[in-house]
Structure 1
Amino acid sequence: MNTPLPARRLPGSRRPVRLAALAAACCLLLAGCSDASSGAGAADRTGDRIRITLVTHGGKGDAFWELVRKGAEAAAAKDGVELTYASDADAAGQAELVRDAVRDGVDGIAVTLAKPQAMKSPVAEADAAGIPVVGLNSGIDAWRATGLLEYFGQDESVAGRAVGDKLDALGARHALCVIHERGNIALEARCAGVKKSFAGTTEMLYVDGTDMTAMTTAVTARLRQEPGVDEVVTNGAQFALAAVRAAGTADSEAEVATFDLNEDLVDAVRDGGVQFAVDQQPYLQGYLAVDALWLYRTNGNVSGGGVAPVLTGPAFVTKTNVAEVARFAAAGTR
């Protein structure tokens, strides 16, 4: 069986790997000890768990980020990793959380890059401390320049263009693309992609995503002002459901489509209230980010060779395939 090399440390490791002979002896003594190729087995033999911190820009209680967290926790459980999750929607606050992880001397950090400029300094501090950092969810055009080792997520520009093409196929003529966080590069890229490929008119509407009442009011007002809008595109499941209510209040015949989904949104697609959703698979993003750091620390693996992102989307959820997605959504993983 494979055993760790004696006294060898991967870049940035704070703890020397135990001698192979000692690991083998422990394996003989412990009943049911798994092979060294298993993360949990390796952690059991060394008694020294890898510590990883996941830092996102997600808002507290957001269902989307709970899926990211669930995926990360599943990977951590499989690999025997000690996982810490932290989030702050404010870029400066998120940067400070990354610095906290660096000061704590963790073995790896996974971070979202909604506002990449704010992350450059803390990522550089992690690099100087020998701590590998991978990216997920947002920042596909900035992860390499920011100094990250790997990236897991959706190409938002590609996803946006795919939505624009779909709107053309559906015969839409005037789309309202709702951005709930100004300056978030992922949301901006999505709507820019829609505008680039959609043959009709694409209009951006900026709203405050932290105030659902204000967001709904803003969409309602715009639909009343511009009755020609026949499609509302949102950037989150909860915003799509709010847009459906707004269209009803405004007596608008506009259809609603969205990026991202949750269990309630799956029901809305099944019932026809929402035309379609684009799934970037947040559970998978969290899972792959944690698993990648474990693989790097234990085996030196780098997904994508460090030069190409690992894509998790876009995947369209429509009435034709929603039943299959609903099965996983009910289990809390989609």
Structure 2
Amino acid sequence: MERTQTWRPAGRRLSRSGLTAVGLLALAATALTGCASGKATGDDTGQATASAGGSTSSTTTGGKVSIVVIGGKADDPFWSTIKRGGEDAAKLVKANGGTVTFLGPQNYDNLGPDAAKLTQTALSQNPSAIVVPDWVPDSQNAAIKQAVAKGVKVFIYNSGGVEQADRTGGIKYIGSDDYQAGKAGGVKFAESGAKNILCVNTVPGAANSEARCKGIADGAKSKGAKSKQLALPSSNFGNPSAVTQAIKGALLKDGSVDALVTIGVQDADSAASAIDQAKAAAKVKLGTFDLSQTQLERIKAGKQLFAIDQQPYLQGFYAVSIANQYLSYGVIPPQNPLLTGPLLVTEDNVGSAISGTKAGVR
């Protein structure tokens, strides 16, 4: 099931100290990579590979760092941004003769078991480190623990949080806090007048999407509003027509729904279409997790309330950089989790976000 990713990409605002720590790490890591931006080389199997840095760690292969990064499916635009960050960090690994390999599933229909198999595939390559999202802990944790037991350094990123990193023996969690991201979105909806919010989940059962919808519900409740989840089959993910029709049907069935939030940008486009088709644009507010140019243009035009940015480029960049620096020199940032978000994008700050998406880093 594995194939190399063209990757795609959760909202408590970071504190001033948190932003400072993240900013300093970004500056340091950028200096190490010479601010380079490029792509890993491809091999015959569809796996993207970049060479990377020397290491004194006993877990390195032949004295060189070998990192396997597991991510989302090839046509998922969110993961393309994460992978770009990972590829940029991989340049330093390449300069020292090591490798960074990217793996991901062909679809999300069987996400947990497929991710566990990818971890097994990564382990079979005898890497120094595995960087992996813990999307479905019940399915993935045994494979992650097996990697740790064999002496492979594991870094959890994007999904799972510190809790799953601790449970599996992962060294650090790098990413956003999905629950707090959802909570901020729920508060924003309620403060903007929404009373009955629908959280559209096209990957039900995945830890991050469930945490997002729970956060939306708790944030809304704290301000006197309510939220429920519209769970759709995972096979609908990436199927705009199916998602649009499902959301449209939900809006027509329940006229009290006055806000919609989706777990990703592809679904947000479908939700916008569903709102228009249901002739509900005048009363239904729209929000989404993650960013795209389309979402930001809607926010700028006043047609969408917010998008919650988890800064996926930083997730890929930090995860690969930290793994490399830890393996090579034993250095690691003390913060755990190392948060890349969430950051709420609204009409007040949408301009800078648009610049970032045009550059391919947001």
The corresponding residue for 1:200 is 225
Q: What is the CA distance between 1:210 and its match in structure 2?
A: 4.0
The corresponding residue for 1:315 is 343
For residue 167 of structure 2, the aligned residue among 138, 145, 149 is 145
Q: How many residues align?
A: 293
Over residues 107-148 of structure 1, what are the superposed CA-to-partner deviations in whole Å (9 max), with x where a residue is unaligned? 211001110122222222222322101011110132210221
Structure 1 residues 1-334: aligned runs within 5 Å: 9-16=56-63, 48=64, 50-56=65-71, 58-80=72-94, 81-88=98-105, 89=108, 90-140=111-161, 141-198=163-220, 199-207=224-232, 208-252=236-280, 253-304=283-334, 308-334=336-362
Identity %: 31
* Further displaced range: 142-151 or 63-72: 142-151
Q: What is the CA distance between 1:236 and its match in structure 2?
A: 0.6
What is the CA–CA distance in structure 1 between the aligned matches of 2:354 and 2:74, rounded to whole Å?
24
Specify the code of the residue in structure 2 equivalent to 1:293. A
Specify the code of the residue in structure 2 equivalent to 1:115. V
What is the CA–CA distance in structure 2 between the aligned matches of 1:304 and 1:136, rounded to whole Å?
16
Provide the TM-score with structure 1 as the length reference. 0.83
What is the CA–CA distance in structure 1 between the aligned matches of 2:214 and 2:113, rounded to whole Å?
26
What is the CA–CA distance in structure 2 between the aligned matches of 1:92 and 1:172, rounded to whole Å?
37
Q: What is the CA distance between 1:59 and its match in structure 2?
A: 2.8
RMSD of aligned alpha carbons: 1.8
SS at match of 2:357: helix
- Contact kept? 2:135, 2:208, Cα under 8 Å: yes
Q: What is the CA distance between 1:11 and its match in structure 2?
A: 4.2
- Contact kept? 1:240, 1:274, Cα under 8 Å: no
What is the CA–CA distance in structure 1 between the aligned matches of 2:361 and 2:209, rounded to whole Å?
23
Unaligned runs of 5+ in 2: 1-54
**Runs of 4+ with deviation above 6 angstroms:** none
Provide the TM-score with structure 2 as the length reference. 0.77
Q: Say which one has the larger Rg.
A: 1
Unaligned runs of 5+ in 1: 1-7, 17-47
* Further displaced range: 188-197 or 295-304: 295-304
- Contact kept? 1:150, 1:303, Cα under 8 Å: no
Specify the code of the residue in structure 2 equivalent to 1:53. V
